[in-house]
Structure 1
Amino acid sequence: MKDVGRTVSQNGYGVSHEQNHDEKALEAGRPEKDPYEVGWDGGDADPWHPRSFNKARKWLIVFIVAAGSLTVTCASSIYTSTYVQMEAEFHNSREVSVLGLSSFILGIALGPMFLGPLSEFFGRRPIYLVSWTLYVIWLIPQTVAKNVATMIVTRFFDGLAGSAFLTVSGGTVGDMFAKDELQLPMAAFTIAPFIGPSVGPIVGGFINQFTTWRWTYYVLIIWAGVMWVAIVLLVPETFHTILLRNKARKMRKETGDNRWLAPTEKVQKSVFKAVLVSLQRPFQLLMFEPMCLFLDIFCAILLGILYVFFGAFGIVFGTHHGFQPYQVGLTFLGLGLGMIIGMLTDPVWHRIRSRLIAKLSQETGVPGSSEPEFRLPPAILGSFLVSIGIFVFAWTSYPSVHWIAPIIGSAIFGAGNMLVFSGIFTFLVDAYPAYAASALAANTFVRCSFAAVFPLFGAQMYHRLGDQWASSLLAFLTVAMIPFPYVFFKYGKKIRSRSRYARS
């Protein structure tokens, strides 16, 4: 968010007492600046400004909010390790068990639609505190559940509450770091929710191998409780608009002058209207923006495949290779390692983008000229890697092939996954700057909706088609999506020129 309300003289609050207005500005027809508008004192150096935090404090906050995202997505997948024991106790089918996975992801899909705009009214911190408290509370009935229906319903509300960290945390990171410093902390935040699903089966595999399934939720409660303490004590409010409002309130109290107002206090906003617009605009982008639609579908297919793998890994490594539950969980290390490798290639893509910018600047004569399409090269490579990775996983899943081969395939898929997601996310933010939150909300909704549906037919697909052809069918879906990142890289500028929402 851009700094607003910078002033020309200071009184300790970064506001101006200047009464002799600039005559030349008035003569030029420029609007007169409100001398009582509260702004930042010295820009980012203002002690109220979150960018004035020292580096250690900033990174501690990044670590906590990223850990929140990881915790939630880990809780989504750790549930799959409880299937066997839970089904033995509740006497339900595997198809019914999978509903608990889908309901949690559906909650994650719906939460961003209203938690995002609510954070712009009430701030980041209140949303964190309320939602995380609810997240911990909804874990309790899962721990003591007497039937599978309780699991399915409470996991939906748990995912809904936990989605705040997948929605609002990116804003917190952006609040604290200037644009030229944002790349690394945003990369650390971006990878956390994608590493989480790989961590879940690893942790859950050990728990369910050596103790009862209910300890899965005891561990989650302890983990979430520690996170709750960290959030309460260490994560302050960082949203610029709210901080300026708080600053103005303090000034009015200390000076007794009610004319001191933050920019947001001059505008009457409706929470209901903001939530309504937030619900409408993502669907408008999906309907009227082909770039947004096809790239979101690509992300959705990849996340859907990732959640299908939770069942496929059990078949390939548990049934074919005779792995114990904790060993099946450890096979997800390949997927997680691939994602980390994908993230570590970020400096390479930064250099490629810099060269593209330099070339365009030379052609246009405008220094620093850039296009959103320059964000897509990692997605172009990643689109090939995900298909290759799934095909390798598919055709090395025979019992006669060493178990390391399909793990290598999953690592290639993980690296491609990370490249596609990072390229598409940054492209959407750059291409739709005025509607970036809506573009990402649309992506989250489509992506998590697919992830909620795919596991419902994944097990049946593997049983009917066989391991090799079931995985190959998933691979063919990704092959169909390979052209889109390249097409939008090549022709995106022309498409944006006819867009009603994109930056042209």
Structure 2
Amino acid sequence: MSSSRRNSRVIAARRISPTFAIDLATGQPSVQAASRASPTHLAVTQTDTVDEDDVNVAFEHEAYGPGSGEKPVDPFEVTMGPNDPDNPKTWSKAYRWYVTMFAAVLVTNATFASSAPTGILPQLVERFGFGSEVARLTISLFLTGYCVGPLLWGPLSEQLGRKPIFIGSFFAYTCFQLGCALAPNTAALLIFRLLGGTFAAAPLANSGAVISDIWDADTRGTAVALFALAPFAGPTLGPTVSGFMAVAGVSWHWVFWVLTFFAGACLILVVLTLPETYVPMILVQRARRLRKETGDSRYWAPLERNKQSFSQRAKHIFGRPFVILFNEPMLIAITLYMSFVYGVMYLLFEAYPIVFTEGHGFNAGISGLMFLPIFVGCAIAVAVYLLYYNPRYIRLMKEFAPHPVPPEYRMELCMVAAPIYAISFFWFAWTSYPHISFWAPLMAGLPMGFAIESLFLTLSNYTIDAYIYVAASALSAQTVTRSVFGAGFPLFATQMYEKLNPRWATTLLGCIAAVMMPIPFILRAYGHKLRKRSKYAPTGDGPMKPPGIQEKKNQQIV
């Protein structure tokens, strides 16, 4: 294909929707890769909805082979058409929904394990003889593993495939849960928790990528919005389960045995039922099969020739995300906001027992139930997004066509959620007196959960829309930063609540949330100007308001 023809196809594709392609070998935007793409070949469009902790936006460089009407450059290059039965997007809807729900279960497994020891911390203190600060490390170290894991498992899945990474990581994760159950001393317990969190991060990094592999752009938004509940279901269920186990007199060992059985069951299901969904790896498997069946070694798949050296990959994985982060004030603001929200969620695992166990006299099991309104609030946020905001966004796509919808329109739900998030802290703070009914602070979790889910959905989508060419690196930087906050916040939560008391400690959090509240409003009003000054955020040539009818007619004529 000539260079002019190739470039014209790229321009046409960008006018239809803000899509792009990435060369797997370099990690940079590839004109050639984009030119060979079609709407069924591209991984992300404006209609996508993504989760914080679990999205892989690496693109399938030439994964499907030549575009319509083109011939392969090499007849021995193994390709895949959009209607190929091996193409994950052609599998039955029922099977794809099973894979989606199972991917959500894998994330729930990992996040459930992060908070599960909350209910048995007193037993751990008694058994191992360490202080409460060390006991809280069982949660913080697990989250520290989240800082490292996503940087490893995402890129490795692009070289080895999704399924091998799930199998290897869940096998190790299961073994480390077993190690925690049999830990003979403090050092062993803490090391196993750290390593367990590192390997548990695999579904956080790759489950979202699996959904991107199997759904087209029209349906992916709904699938991922539902999937987005998983990261918040696990942490809220962990204290409930372990709390009731502690009340029932069950040994602390059994909390880790439950985690072992849960992880082991997921491992078995991964081996038996989870298919390989990464198209470049499916083509590698097809090429190997053809070489074996025909005896002709000339068959090859693109991924087999797109290998990076260790130093190149290490530089791209560990350096590039933070180079982008530190050079983008807009991204820094978004990342700090999301990290604060994430860190406070884990801080509440220390604050809730002070309010409900010490203040209202509930046992560990009932105190664990106090987290459930947060999850219900998250579910309400997803429902509102799917039933109201997503249809509005689809209408905007039609109004802005042929231009993409500016990322700033993502801020609508965020502008509602930000004030609600700040208000929920003041609600919880000044109803946390022991003489006030527990229902008052309990129900504060409902708007808090709604705000948490809404903020994550909208800010993650804004990041992808604004930093479309470097979205993978931007999201990686966000994942690591918020994991640091999640690991660090529980370490000072108890001291803060004991010294300031629940009223003033939570008020302090509410004040910080109020200080950050203007961020989505600023992005909505001035985000397009900030993007014009950005080195990494493409500004595009689209309008900030929907074109008028006459303008659309003129565009159609042109």
Q: Which residue of 2 aligns with 1:460?
A: 495
Structure 2: stretches of 5+ with no match in the other structure: 1-19, 22-32, 39-63, 540-558
**Aligned residue in 2 for 1:87:** 125
User: For residue 329 of structure 2, what is the amino acid of its counterpart?
Assistant: P
Q: Is the 8 A contact 1:6 1:40 kept in 2?
A: no
Identity, in percent, stands at 34
Aligned to 2:182: 144
* Backbone CA RMSD of aligned residues: 2.1
Question: Given the alignment, which residue of 409, 412, 425 partners 1:374?
Answer: 409
- What SS is found at the alignment partner of 2:85? coil
Q: 1:161: which partner in 2?
A: 199
Select which of 518, 526, 538 maps to 1:491: 526
What is the number of residues matched between the two proteins?
479
Q: Given that residues 143 and 486 in structure 2 are in contact (C-alpha distance below 8 angstroms), is that contact kept between their aligned partners in structure 1?
A: yes
The CA distance in 2 between the partners of 1:157 and 1:15, in whole Å, is 39
Matched, 1:421 2:459: no
CA offset at residue 6 of structure 1? 8.7
TM superposition shift of 1:407:
1.1
CA distance, structure 2, for counterparts of residue 435 and residue 15 of structure 1: 24
Aligned counterparts, 1:279-294, within 5 A: 279-294=318-333
Equivalent residue, structure 1, for 2:79 = 39
Partners of 2:127 and 2:473 lie apart in 1 by 43
How many Å apart are 1:272 and its aligned residue? Answer: 4.1
Alignment of 1:359-370 (within 5 A): 359=399, 361=400, 366-367=401-402, 369-370=404-405
- Of residues 305, 311, 316, the one that matches 2:355 is 316
Code of the aligned partner of 2:113:
A
The residue type paired with residue 291 of structure 2 is: R
Structure 2 Cα separation of the partners of residues 68 and 272 of structure 1: 31
Distance 2:348 2:410 in 1: 28
Specify which of 465, 474, 499 is matched with residue 430 of structure 1.
Answer: 465
- Code of the residue aligned with 2:225 in structure 1: it is A
Go from structure 1 to structure 2 and tell me whether the alpha carbon gap of 1:268 and 1:93 turns closer, same or farther (over 3 Å shift): closer
What is the 5 A alignment of 1:401-412? 401-412=436-447
Please name the residue that 1:386 is paired with.
421
Task: State the match for 2:256 in structure 1.
Answer: 217
Per-residue CA distance 1:220-244 (angstroms, 9 max, x = gap): 1111111111111111111111112
Q: 1:354 aligns with which of 394, 403, 410?
A: 394
Where do 5+ consecutive residues of structure 1 fail to align? Answer: 8-13, 17-21, 26-30
> Residues 70-123 of structure 1: CA distance to partner in whole angstroms, max 9, x if unpaired?
111111111111111111122221111111111100001211112211111111
In 2, Cα distance between equivalents of 1:282 and 1:253? 40
Deviations 1:284-335 (A, max 9, x none): 1210112211111111111111111111110111011110111001111111
CA offsets 1:226-284 (integer angstroms, 9 cap, x no match): 11111111111111111122222222333344333322334342244223311111111
Quote the Cα distance in structure 1 between the aligned partners of 2:148 and 2:278: 23
Amino acid at match of 1:130: G
Does 1:338 pair with 2:373? no
Distance 2:292 2:184 in 1: 54
Q: 1 CA distance for matches of 2:451 and 2:470?
A: 27
Contact 2:342 2:485 in 1 (8 A): yes
Q: Would you say the 8 A contact 2:357–2:364 is kept in 1?
A: yes
Aligned to 2:228, the other structure's residue is in SS state: helix
Note closer, same or farther for the CA distance 1:256–1:191 as it changes in structure 2 (3 Å cut): same
Change (3 A) 1:384 1:298: same
The 5 A counterparts of 1:31-70 are 33-41=73-81, 43=82, 45-70=83-108
Counterpart of 2:484 in 1: which secondary structure?
helix
> Take 2:459 and 2:138, find their aligned partners in 1: how far apart are those partners?
29
Alpha-carbon distance in 2 for matches of 1:102, 1:399: 29
Normalising by structure 1, we get a TM-score of 0.91
TM-score, length of structure 2 as denominator length:
0.82
Task: Tell me how far apart the structure 1 counterparts of residues 489 and 92 of structure 2 sit (CA, whole Å).
Answer: 44
Q: SS state of the match for residue 350, structure 1?
A: helix
Alignment of 1:181-192 (within 5 A): 181-192=219-230
Distance 1:495 1:35 in 2: 47
DSSP 3-state at the match of 1:34? coil
